Structure 1
Amino acid sequence: MSEQEIRVPELGGAESVEIVGVLVSVGDSVEAEDPLLELESDKATVEMPAPAAGKITRLDVNEGDSLKEGDLVGMMETAEAGASGDSDQSEGDEESVGASPARDETQEADAATDSQSGDTASEAPGTSGGEQAIQVPELGGAESVEIVGVLVSVGDSVNAEDPLLELESDKATVEMPSPATGKITRLDVKEGDTLKEGDVVGMLEVSGGGAQASSEQTSTGKKEQADSVGASPARDDAQQTQGTTSSTAAKPETPETPSGKRVHAGPAVRRIAREFGADLQQVQGSGPKGRILKDDVQAWVRKQLQSGSSAPAGGGAGIPEVPLPDFSQFGEVERQSMTKIQRLTAQGMHRSWLNVPHVTQFEKADITDLEAFRKDHKAEGEKRGVKMTLLPFLMKACAHALATYPQFNVSLDMANQQIIQKHYCHIGIAVDTPNGLVVPVIRDVDRKSIWQLAEEAQELAGKARDRKLTNNDMSGACFTITSLGGIGGTAFTPIVNSPEVAILGASKAAMEPVWDGAQFQPRLMLPLSLSYDHRAINGADAARFTTLLSKTLGDLRELVM
């Protein structure tokens, strides 16, 4: 047995790295290449492997320490065989921490000597007459990787270590380097293909002394390539998006924010962030020196869901961004800024659509008698200065249905696993304005007369079009009505105005033949569309709700029963 120093290998150009994870303790037995430390540079988070098999006898570093190339981090007890191979092993280690470092001439010479004097199996597979097969190196434990970017074409000249493919495993997106200098003569893969260790992706015509170099690369650098592809370097966002446009569209990455703040997080945490669509730039780390832990990501996601914060413009929520083409190539275009109402409406609709499991129940109400009643009171409405429309009757019928089926007058508090039952009846009415859609609220609908509701609806609609609505005018609704009757259509599926659990849509009424038991009669039928949150309301209750609405609108006497 012999003692061996554990030192920081070559850092691939980085001046220093920070320890963000100590993965072993004194007394632990490790194999060669087992990860000892998790190091973070300004470009990546990677693991520092053990230089040989043995037992850790001393550790001189802690999480949060800064290290430079060659720094002593501890000691290990190794077997004699392991000690004799330390020189060769250290060459492989250097590329495992540094991202594609260029080894110096002395190291190249040593590797060549080892390759010639070592086992004959070090010849590159597929090497014949200056041609070499380009194979997927060891994947560091990953079963397979997906090609998310092809960075070269047939005929391209490349240098050793130049990136050929951009590969994505479940831990990281990394580049697969060229095994030697030469020209690409064949490519057998394309973006989206899945590869395994050892798969041939193409052929390379090795230039000059490349045949010897490729042999050398295979014998001493196979492990180096494995670490380059299969370790877990969580590169920063800029590096991840450095490939082709199509590779960016192929995976939903956490969007880059303009803050440019350095993120301290390990590969596992970054993977969780990608799954949740969390922006690590916005997550506050609770670990040493602000390092982001898994719990921090989960807490951030919970907070976003509870606060209803919208996702960043570039994506989020794990949903891939829709790529926009250059529309000017098809014709003349003009860009206009969204109004504040349009922005808020888009955010609210998107939030509701993502969070609410929508179901829509359709029904028709016979409003023949109601329409005659409304027209009979048209003259009185003119005297009052109020336009009598169908809307106040809809509001009154909805208030009656909400009282009968109170499960429609609730909100869900999913964070606390509670249902909030409301004992008031405020109804929002969607108003279309030149600046966008707004929803003023009429309070205590159940306590007001049809005339009061008509007057208040007219007043709020006027304020909406004049952009004079206050926050108080648009808050507190427990149910919403949206009507397209003045425009047209036979049915639609309105989006629930969360945290409400239901919304009623009314389309254009039309005369239809209705069977009365003896013959068909022409009746004025109003299409109704009730969208509801299926977490709070089941289908049977929705059918009962719309049936009661239809019955009430068909016979106003139901309101006094």
Structure 2
Amino acid sequence: MAERVVRLPDVGEGIAEAELVEWHVKVGDVVREDAVLGAVMTDKATVEIPSPADGRVIWLAGSAGDILAIGSDFVRLEVDGKSAQATEAATPPSSAASALAQKPDVAASASRMAASEPPNMLKSQPPAAPAHHAGDRPLAAPAVRLRAREAGADLRQIRGTGPAGRITHDDLDAHLVRGRTGTTAAPYPTQAAVTDIKIVGLRRKIAEKMSVASSRIPHITYVEEVDVTALEDLRAKLNGQKQTGKPKLTMLPFLMRAMVRAIAEQQHLNAHFDDEAGIVHQHAGVHIGIATQTPAGLVVPVVHHAEARDLWSCAAEVARLAEAARNGSATRDELTGSTITITSLGALGGLATTPIINHPEVAIVGVNRIAIRPHWNGAAFVPRQMMNLSSSFDHRVIDGFDAAQFVQRIKTQLETPAMIFIDA
């Protein structure tokens, strides 16, 4: 018998590391060629890694939540001595069998595995690397560097336990605890009512992205009240006489069409800001991200080229993407490329919110719930269906006046819905 090392393959252009989210095997299992060994996540997409040969698992690279370097050892197999090379990178799955897809159950599965690891799984963390010398650039993921900067921690003083001495979140946490107490923290007593839940998979990606957006973008939030009585009447009539096969109209398609018209007059709001290069990338196509809650967490499927879609096409695409995001079939292309985002909590939308911009975009439009409120019409108070729009803007590149003007244009169209369909 011989040992065969399966290395983590290149799972995407420009990707240097991936998060281990799920094992499909354990030490001692006999696997067949092409059987799935485990899954890693990059940029909210999950990739399954197959076995390159028949064999028995004798070693696994860590546990769910660990960050693995591309090309590092992933699995070690005991194989027939006549098998091919002893060390090999696993062949990435074929496009038909493994299109990059979001898996809503990955985070839950990873959490269960972390909580109930099989007793015969080997703990094989590499030995801690020596502390970095002055002038060296320590190895660490961008999210770890960001946390270290915010905490005032010097990464050169931290011993990394990841591949090639890479500093992990756990390494940083241990360093910060030692800094506060002067010693390594003792574990919680078994009777203490504390549950430690490791943030892995999609939840970690969300946390990292929110941290980047919050720390790097100075937000300005503008809240405006909108009278949607006429719009709700129109929506009810259109839904009442819609043809078979057409989707039900919600508020979102009307808002999308209003945004497209407003963006035509303020195209600099439909953009990405590369703050490191100091460049605003203004887009001609309006690709609207729709923040969608799934069992695994928040994802943002994208309605591409909303400017080329009518009301019904927008509604159909929103419904299709929302379903794909929730059942885990949304592809990488469907989850990337937005240039401006809508976020809505539906009936739970509250009176006002302060939405966080979907970095690197420069604007996000938030929808709050519709409620009947007294409205002064110039002569008396009358009941009207009112809704607040809570919108945030990157104040580095969007002035308050432009932000207000953008929201006011949307408000005018929603309050007079005929304007959405008429070219002036």
Q: Which of 201, 207, 230 is equivalent to 1:369?
A: 230
Q: Distance in 2 between matches of 1:534 and 1:481?
A: 18
Q: Is 2:129 the partner of 1:260?
A: yes
2:89 alignment partner in structure 1: none
Q: Deviations over 1:296-331 (max 9, x none)?
A: xxxxxxxxxxxxxx9945659xx9999999777885
Report deviation, 1:384.
2.0
After superposition, residues 16-35 of structure 1 pair within 5 angstroms as none
Shift in CA distance, 282/423, structure 1 to aligned 2, threshold 3 Å? farther
Larger CA Rg, structure 1 vs 2 = 1
1:453 alignment partner in structure 2: 314
SS of match in other structure, 1:377: helix
Q: Distance in 1 between matches of 2:255 and 2:410?
A: 8
Q: Which of 150, 155, 158 is equivalent to 1:279?
A: 155
Shift in CA distance, 265/488, structure 1 to aligned 2, threshold 3 Å? closer
Report deviation, 1:336.
3.9
1:20 alignment partner in structure 2: none
SS of match in other structure, 2:347: coil
Report deviation, 1:440.
0.1
Instruction: Assess if the C-alpha contact under 8 Å between 2:158 and 2:172 holds in 1.
Output: no
SS of match in other structure, 1:346: helix
Gap regions ≥5 residues in structure 2: 1-125, 139-147, 160-166
% same residue: 36
Shift in CA distance, 405/334, structure 1 to aligned 2, threshold 3 Å? same
Q: Distance in 2 between matches of 1:258 and 1:382?
A: 65
Shift in CA distance, 325/552, structure 1 to aligned 2, threshold 3 Å? farther
SS of match in other structure, 2:244: helix
After superposition, residues 504-543 of structure 1 pair within 5 angstroms as 504-543=365-404
Report deviation, 1:421.
1.4
Shift in CA distance, 364/330, structure 1 to aligned 2, threshold 3 Å? farther
Shift in CA distance, 322/451, structure 1 to aligned 2, threshold 3 Å? farther
1:411 alignment partner in structure 2: 272
SS of match in other structure, 1:384: coil
Q: Which of 207, 216, 222 is equivalent to 1:346?
A: 207
Report deviation, 1:444.
0.8
Letter aligned with residue 444 of structure 1 = H
Determine which structure has greater relative contact order: mean sequence separation of CA pairs < 8 Å that are 6+ residues apart, divided by chain length.
2
Q: Distance in 2 between matches of 1:497 and 1:327?
A: 37
After superposition, residues 491-510 of structure 1 pair within 5 angstroms as 491-510=352-371
Q: Is 2:339 the partner of 1:478?
A: yes
Q: Distance in 2 between matches of 1:282 and 1:262?
A: 6
SS of match in other structure, 2:348: coil
Instruction: Assess if the C-alpha contact under 8 Å between 2:263 and 2:269 holds in 1.
Output: yes
Q: Distance in 1 between matches of 2:212 and 2:352?
A: 23
Q: Distance in 1 between matches of 2:373 and 2:239?
A: 24
Q: Deviations over 1:411-453 (max 9, x none)?
A: 2223332222111100000111111111000011111011001
Shift in CA distance, 461/517, structure 1 to aligned 2, threshold 3 Å? same
1:199 alignment partner in structure 2: none
Q: Distance in 2 between matches of 1:415 and 1:348?
A: 16
Instruction: Assess if the C-alpha contact under 8 Å between 1:397 and 1:552 holds in 2.
Output: yes
Instruction: Assess if the C-alpha contact under 8 Å between 1:339 and 1:435 holds in 2.
Output: no
Q: Distance in 1 between matches of 2:288 and 2:158?
A: 37
2:113 alignment partner in structure 1: none
Q: Is 2:363 the partner of 1:487?
A: no
Q: Distance in 2 between matches of 1:476 and 1:266?
A: 38
Letter aligned with residue 348 of structure 2 = I
Instruction: Assess if the C-alpha contact under 8 Å between 1:504 and 1:528 holds in 2.
Output: yes
Q: Distance in 2 between matches of 1:518 and 1:397?
A: 30
2:293 alignment partner in structure 1: 432
RMSD: 3.4
Q: Distance in 2 between matches of 1:461 and 1:534?
A: 30
Shift in CA distance, 447/265, structure 1 to aligned 2, threshold 3 Å? same
Instruction: Assess if the C-alpha contact under 8 Å between 2:356 and 2:364 holds in 1.
Output: yes
Instruction: Assess if the C-alpha contact under 8 Å between 2:287 and 2:340 holds in 1.
Output: yes
**Number of equivalences:** 274
Report deviation, 1:337.
4.2
Q: Distance in 2 between matches of 1:362 and 1:314?
A: 42
Q: Distance in 1 between matches of 2:318 and 2:326?
A: 12
Q: Deviations over 1:454-497 (max 9, x none)?
A: 00100001101101111100111000001012224111111000
With structure 1 as the length reference, what TM-score do the two structures score? 0.44
Letter aligned with residue 132 of structure 2 = V
Gap regions ≥5 residues in structure 1: 1-256, 284-309
Instruction: Assess if the C-alpha contact under 8 Å between 1:479 and 1:503 holds in 2.
Output: yes
After superposition, residues 30-179 of structure 1 pair within 5 angstroms as none
Report deviation, 1:280.
2.5
Report deviation, 1:347.
0.7
Letter aligned with residue 279 of structure 1 = L
Q: Distance in 2 between matches of 1:380 and 1:529?
A: 32
SS of match in other structure, 2:361: coil
With structure 2 as the length reference, what TM-score do the two structures score? 0.58
Report deviation, 1:520.
1.4
SS of match in other structure, 1:532: strand
Report deviation, 1:390.
0.7
Q: Distance in 2 between matches of 1:414 and 1:511?
A: 42
Moved more, 481-490 or 545-554: 481-490
2:418 alignment partner in structure 1: 557
Q: Distance in 2 between matches of 1:398 and 1:322?
A: 49
